[in-house]
Structure 1
Amino acid sequence: MKGKLRKNIPTLIILIIAGEMIYTLPYFRNYYYDVFLNAFQLTNTQMGTLGSAYGVCCLISYIFGGYVADRWKTKHLLSISLFATGILGFTLLLYPPYPVLLLIYAAWGITSIMTFWVALIKAVRSLASENEQGKAFGFFEGGRGAAKIIESALVLGLFAFLTKQLSDKLALTSVIIFYSVMCILLGFMIMLLYKEPGNNNSDELKEKSNKKFDWAILLRILKMPTTWLAAILILTSYAMINSFYYITPYATSAFGASTIIAAALGYFSQYCRPIGSFGSGIIGDRIGISNMVIIGYCVLAIGLAALIVLPGKPSFILLLLVFIAIIYISMYALQATHFAILVEGDYPVEITGTVAMPLMIIGYSGEIFMPIVAGACLDHWSGTDGYKVLFSILLGLTIVGLITAIIWQRVTKEKRKANVLQKREMIAS
């Protein structure tokens, strides 16, 4: 198992790019909002409904994604998902009417989540040995951030060039073609490069995993305290990821930041993502994933507390940027540990899909309630008070996450000791 991740780096890079590119088609309309609106002759309400259709199907897909991932081969699921997403992208070139667009976005909710996301997590886990899970997911999340930076810069440059040379609609067409072709090419590359992991498990839970998805395994997983603790860890950290974009209007409202600086803050998060993810993965494998999680929550709490108490004056704008960087880096550091920490909970790779079912349903539920909570705070409290109440709620969730991580360490004490011994034996050999 020594050096397993290093041998699989080419495959990991393909998975990283695929994990970023498959979501460009469902979301690119937000980056080219006005052009998309005019090209497809939509109203703002219809534009928003496309996102709702995608979101509803994503929620349903989270429920069944684990079942699908443990039922069929990972390679086939990933490839078919990318093929289907790309083909659906090509249908946009017909500039179909609104009802057809709704169906396309709903279908993307299935192809990018139900048949793809959990299978992708399972694939990443399989590329690394137990003592490399932090690096694997750190590189995965950080790589997705780096891929996003490169992809958005290239496509935006292409769009700007073609807009001047041709027209907005033809430039949008080129963007659609690029994303669709990339998805299909990545599907072929995964089909050629990815190899299904062998199964050499020994204990009862792992032997049952040979049967692929098994409801008895799910029931047993639900009885394990680590399952619920992991779900809370994802929920409390993902709530920040669902809400960080409220920092931008807060900077404008409280600190008088210009619209340019405010926009830069949004992009700034993507530059912090590789730092947080890579750092979390490397450090996590050295000191233990749960230790890294505790550090991440502590740093995030400091950043949020500072954001709340910092006086809203233009003279403090540079200090604000420092605290925002702290929040972004720790936020993505925690995201990189969402599935890496499973190695401390004694879950074999073969049942990753089954484990992911409760984790995703509970952990990603912040996508549903955090926008509602944020909206209620901003409507109820005027001015910057609403933002501070929202950040206080996020600080409270961060503290809950910190306490949960400490409990996790106590519950997984024996398994973590076994991991340390295994790591020493590997080094000695």
Structure 2
Amino acid sequence: MTAQNKAKWFKFLILILGGGTVYKLANLKDAFYVPMQEFMGLSHTQIGLLLSANAIIATGLFVVGGMLADRFDTRKLIPLGLIGTGALGLYLATFPPFSSLMLVFCLLAVCADCIYWPALLKAIRGLGNDQEQGRMFGLLEGGRGVVDTLVAFSALGVFVALGSGEHGLKAAILFYALIDIAAGVLTWFLLKGNQAQAQTSAKNPLANLMEAIKVPAIWLVSFNVFMVYIVYCGLTYFIPYLKEVYGLPVALVGAYGIINQYMLKILGGPAGGFIADKHFKSPSRYLKWAFLALLPMMAIILLVPKSPGFIYAGMAATLSFAFIVFSMRGVFWAPMGEVGIAPHITGSAFGIGCLIGYAPGMFAYVGYGALLDHFPGQQGYNYVFVAMMLLALIGFAIASRLQRLVRKAAPLATAATA
């Protein structure tokens, strides 16, 4: 491995460290939902309001974040987002009143989703050439899963070690905050000379955004991400499905949840990246056929007999479906490199992509949940799963159109390189 390659992968690991920690405070409920209620005095409604406020601000600022990534050096934006997130965590650990918590969760969206995330995506794209985009983004997703798991369990260990009470929760929040600050400081000092820094253009950020809006390829990539993400949201309902329909024991619920949320993220992202680059030679081509592969997998889930004797078959079928989806999540940003987005509008392109691509988080769970509430039991799950199949079919059509665009763009890119 050359010195240049070693430097590239070292920078990549530094970026992964921040990517796996920056959202821990905004998603504190993942590991500490009940302690938040007990020791911070929050109701279900109040926790929901905090999460909704964070999601709304994040969605509204993704495009602004993309403009910032085009205007400023990503080496400055990434540490700023991490250190800002950590500073908010230090205040969060004081258990402020609910009105202040609302402000904190809104500012967490500013730091993580506006300042940090589009800059990270641009930095990752800049680390690899167009033939490496699948691997880079796949390893980003897998690496984030590893860091995410280690940090989450470490914080849980701090909480338990200090008695699983109020002091334990404050210590866990401080742990998250200090990890973010440390990652920000490391990023600042260790990413010097980063090849992925933002390239300032003679145009202003708004002009870059308007230029990006006029590029059809950016919209195709964005809606491709949208379709992957809306199917991904449906994975949440595999756990209650197995519990209600197959009588999944409580002990297996925890094990299944860990595999479904952590192990598949760690394995699926890198697998998708390497398959897309090495076998399919194109992330967009891989996404097209992966969408199609979801259809027979969901058909198997629907056809597995619904009795306790087939519980392991049901688990295997749902986990196989989820693995494909996680492999798609690992590469759904990689086509940004394939379609030849100009470097000076890369940040704006990712901003538009995040705005559209992550939008299902605001309504998909409500839609799936409404189906299950209106049609209790097996019927409701059948409707949810059929809806996921139809969405995958639409995704296949969008990914097919995207791949055709990539094929047309390839000869032009080759000629330009020559």
Q: TM-score when scaled to structure 1?
A: 0.90
CA gap of 1:3–1:231, structure 2 versus 1, over 3 A, is: farther
Contact 1:73 1:196 in 2 (8 A): no
Whether 2:129 is the aligned partner of 1:138: answer: no
Whether 2:300 is the aligned partner of 1:306: answer: yes
Whether 2:159 is the aligned partner of 1:159: answer: yes
Whether 2:255 is the aligned partner of 1:261: answer: no
CA gap of 1:213–1:135, structure 2 versus 1, over 3 A, is: farther
1:379 matched residue in structure 2:
373
1:147 matched residue in structure 2:
147
Question: How many Å separate the matches in 2 of 1:28 and 1:253?
Answer: 27
SS for the counterpart of 1:317 is helix
CA gap of 1:161–1:199, structure 2 versus 1, over 3 A, is: closer
Instruction: Map 1:280-429; keep pairs closer than 5 Å.
Output: 280-286=272-278, 287-417=281-411
Counterpart of 2:11, as a letter, is T
SS for the counterpart of 1:94 is coil
CA gap of 1:242–1:420, structure 2 versus 1, over 3 A, is: farther
Question: How many Å separate the matches in 2 of 1:176 and 1:372?
Answer: 29
Question: How many Å separate the matches in 2 of 1:300 and 1:417?
Answer: 31
SS for the counterpart of 1:210 is coil
Question: How many Å separate the matches in 2 of 1:37 and 1:371?
Answer: 22
Q: Cα offset for 1:111?
A: 0.8
SS for the counterpart of 1:26 is coil
CA gap of 1:200–1:49, structure 2 versus 1, over 3 A, is: closer
CA gap of 1:223–1:327, structure 2 versus 1, over 3 A, is: same
CA gap of 1:98–1:214, structure 2 versus 1, over 3 A, is: closer
Contact 1:299 1:326 in 2 (8 A): no
2:243 matched residue in structure 1:
252
Question: How many Å separate the matches in 2 of 1:73 and 1:259?
Answer: 49
Contact 2:82 2:111 in 1 (8 A): yes
Q: Cα offset for 1:29?
A: 2.9
Q: Cα offset for 1:200?
A: 12
1:43 matched residue in structure 2:
43
Q: Cα offset for 1:133?
A: 1.1
Counterpart of 1:122, as a letter, is K
Whether 2:175 is the aligned partner of 1:178: answer: yes
Question: How many Å separate the matches in 2 of 1:133 and 1:5?
Answer: 15
Question: How many Å separate the matches in 2 of 1:266 and 1:31?
Answer: 12
Question: How many Å separate the matches in 2 of 1:418 and 1:289?
Answer: 18
Bigger mean CA offset, 145-154 vs 235-244? 145-154
2:186 matched residue in structure 1:
189
CA gap of 1:82–1:400, structure 2 versus 1, over 3 A, is: same
SS for the counterpart of 1:312 is coil
Bigger mean CA offset, 209-218 vs 260-269? 209-218
* TM-superposition CA deviations, 1:5-43 (whole Å, max 9, x none): 543112111111201101111112331122221211222
Counterpart of 1:317, as a letter, is I
Q: Cα offset for 1:291?
A: 2.2
SS for the counterpart of 1:27 is coil
Which ranges of structure 1 fall in alignment gaps of 5 or more residues?
none
Q: TM-score when scaled to structure 2?
A: 0.92
Q: Cα offset for 1:214?
A: 4.3
CA gap of 1:146–1:49, structure 2 versus 1, over 3 A, is: same
Whether 2:218 is the aligned partner of 1:227: answer: yes
Q: Cα offset for 1:83?
A: 1.0
1:218 matched residue in structure 2:
209
CA gap of 1:215–1:422, structure 2 versus 1, over 3 A, is: closer
Contact 2:77 2:119 in 1 (8 A): yes
Contact 1:4 1:127 in 2 (8 A): no
Q: Cα offset for 1:272?
A: 1.1
Instruction: Map 1:191-210; keep pairs closer than 5 Å.
Output: 191-195=188-192, 210=201
Q: Cα offset for 1:143?
A: 0.5
Aligned-pair identity in percent equals: 26
1:102 matched residue in structure 2:
102
1:276 matched residue in structure 2:
268
1:239 matched residue in structure 2:
230
Counterpart of 1:262, as a letter, is V
Which ranges of structure 2 fall in alignment gaps of 5 or more residues?
none
2:85 matched residue in structure 1:
85
Q: Cα offset for 1:324?
A: 1.8
Question: How many Å separate the matches in 1 of 2:168 and 2:259?
Answer: 26
* TM-superposition CA deviations, 1:232-269 (whole Å, max 9, x none): 21111001222211111011111111223223222212
Question: How many Å separate the matches in 1 of 2:316 and 2:64?
Answer: 41
Question: How many Å separate the matches in 2 of 1:420 and 1:310?
Answer: 48
* TM-superposition CA deviations, 1:76-98 (whole Å, max 9, x none): 11111111111111112322111
Q: Cα offset for 1:218?
A: 3.5
Contact 1:70 1:213 in 2 (8 A): no
Question: How many Å separate the matches in 1 of 2:411 and 2:317?
Answer: 35
1:22 matched residue in structure 2:
22
CA gap of 1:284–1:386, structure 2 versus 1, over 3 A, is: same
SS for the counterpart of 1:147 is helix
Q: Cα offset for 1:223?
A: 3.3
Counterpart of 1:87, as a letter, is A
Bigger mean CA offset, 313-322 vs 179-188? 313-322
SS for the counterpart of 1:336 is helix
CA gap of 1:317–1:221, structure 2 versus 1, over 3 A, is: same
Question: How many Å separate the matches in 2 of 1:339 and 1:389?
Answer: 29
Q: Cα offset for 1:44?
A: 2.3
Bigger mean CA offset, 105-114 vs 219-228? 219-228
Bigger mean CA offset, 39-48 vs 121-130? 39-48
Contact 1:74 1:196 in 2 (8 A): no
Counterpart of 1:250, as a letter, is Y
2:32 matched residue in structure 1:
32
CA gap of 1:129–1:212, structure 2 versus 1, over 3 A, is: farther
Question: How many Å separate the matches in 2 of 1:326 and 1:109?
Answer: 33
Contact 1:75 1:190 in 2 (8 A): yes
* TM-superposition CA deviations, 1:205-240 (whole Å, max 9, x none): x9xx72365444434433333222212211110012
Question: How many Å separate the matches in 1 of 2:364 and 2:265?
Answer: 21
